[in-house]
Amino acid sequence: MSTTTFSSTCFLKGSEVKVSNLKCNNGNWKLHIGGSTALSTKRMQISNSKQEKEIRVALLGASGYTGAEIIRLLANHPYFGITVMTADRNAGKSMDSVFPHFITQKDLPVLVSTNDADFSDVDAVFCCLPHGTTQEIIKGLPKRLKIVDLSADFRLRNVSEYEEWYGQPHRAPDLQEEAVYGLTEILREEIKNAHLVANPGCYPTSIQLPLVPLIKANLIEHKNIIIDAKSGASGAGRGAKVGNLYTELTEGIMSYGVTRHRHVPEIEQGLSDAAHSKVTISFTPHLMPMSRGMQSTIYVEMASGVTTDNLYQQLKVSYQDEEFVRLLEKGAVPRTHDVRGSNYCYINVFPDRIPGRAIILSVIDNLVKGASGQALQNLNIMMGFPENTGLGYLPLFP
């Protein structure tokens, strides 16, 4: 007589089940859940084959960094499976020929052009196309689809403002009216029933997450907000550009978009919504010689009688139940290394040398919480799944 025993924990949809014992006694399997026998069978078949996913996803613009990051995140998602991928310049190619690190992902569909994409067997769409090209494509998609757009095309409610900052008229103003801005922790309830979610930009995510709760609580002034932000080179996309060449970028720091970065109106829109009045900011982004990561250093003037302890406590209350936004212990300095490859945002508050002012540090991975991770978080909510599904990646260090 031989007996084999296993102990494990398994996950069912929306819940965790503790398997205390899985015993085999001469070919008879017994499954013990929570200490009692829940199932007994003569033979239990254990298979490694992938089951068909419940939600069929199309990924438009799969050959860019954000598209590749969505593929990485969905590789272990229990409910979302990719059935369509587009990349116009790489149509007909396999994904591992574009990104060799996907050579193990044998179930990915072949890349097709956007015009040849078939959406008849698709439930949801991630759109990772460049701004300016997205509006008409999304306008032509079936109305039944749930869509998360990672471009800037639907982030600004005022289409005139979009034209001013992006240099072209908005081609889908009616669709813009129904788009929901997808800053998950702030607008979760609106996202639940949305048809189209405009995924926030990376800089706006790192800036609004710490500032919105403080503005709503009237703890900081709406003037003299100064933001010094730094991003890894992947934030500029995968296209060949002189400024992104190794010799141009390495061993230095480069400021860009000085006074006119396109994320400014998006940031001011979110902060003005929180304040119920117009908020303007001074914002300067910088490109750093690293592949991914983002830090926003934010200088604020506190309201009369407010201290940095008040700011700290407000952020603590605002995010104490949030999985992906973490307020560090007092005095701890957030580092981009500590969130790399993850969907986390780390925040902390420090007193400035100048009386009445505070310094807020916020770090994210620009490709995850700043783009694809937050997009997945939003689609999870839109499709009725726990929003952390597929996002349980620990930060990658070193």
**pLDDT (average), residues 20-49:** 40
Which residues are known catalytic residues?
Answer: 202
Residues whose CB is less than 8 angstroms from the CB of residue 279 and which lie 6 or more positions away in sequence, other chains included: 215, 222, 225, 268, 271, 272
Contacts of 48 (CB under 8 A, 6+ apart): none
pLDDT value for 245: 80
**pLDDT band at residue 264, thresholds of 50, 70 and 90?**
very high
What does the pLDDT read at residue 50? 42
Residue 40 above 80 pLDDT?
no
Question: Residues 52-89: pLDDT tens digits?
Answer: 789 999 999 999 999 999 999 999 999 999 999 999 99
Dihedral sign, Cα of residue 112, residue 117, residue 118, residue 121: positive
271 or 48, higher pLDDT: 271
Indicate whether 96 pLDDT > 70: yes
Looking at 5-9, 83-87, 143-147, 185-189, which range is the least confident one? 5-9
Return mean pLDDT, the chain.
89
Say which amino acid occupies 359.
I
Residue 209 backbone phi and psi in degrees, to 5: -55, -45
**8 and 22 Cβ atoms separated by less than 8 Å:** yes
* pTM of the predicted protein model: 0.86
CA distance linking residue 378 with residue 393, whole number of Å = 17
Predicted confidence at residue 21, as pLDDT, reads: 47
Cβ–Cβ under 8 Å, residues 30 and 38: no
pLDDT average, residue stretch 311-330: 98
**Above 80 in pLDDT, residue 300?**
yes
If phi > 0 it is left, if psi is from -120 to 50 it is alpha, else beta; for residue 26 that is: left
Mean pLDDT over 90-103 rounds to 96
User: Distance from first CA to last CA of the chain, Å, rounded?
Assistant: 49
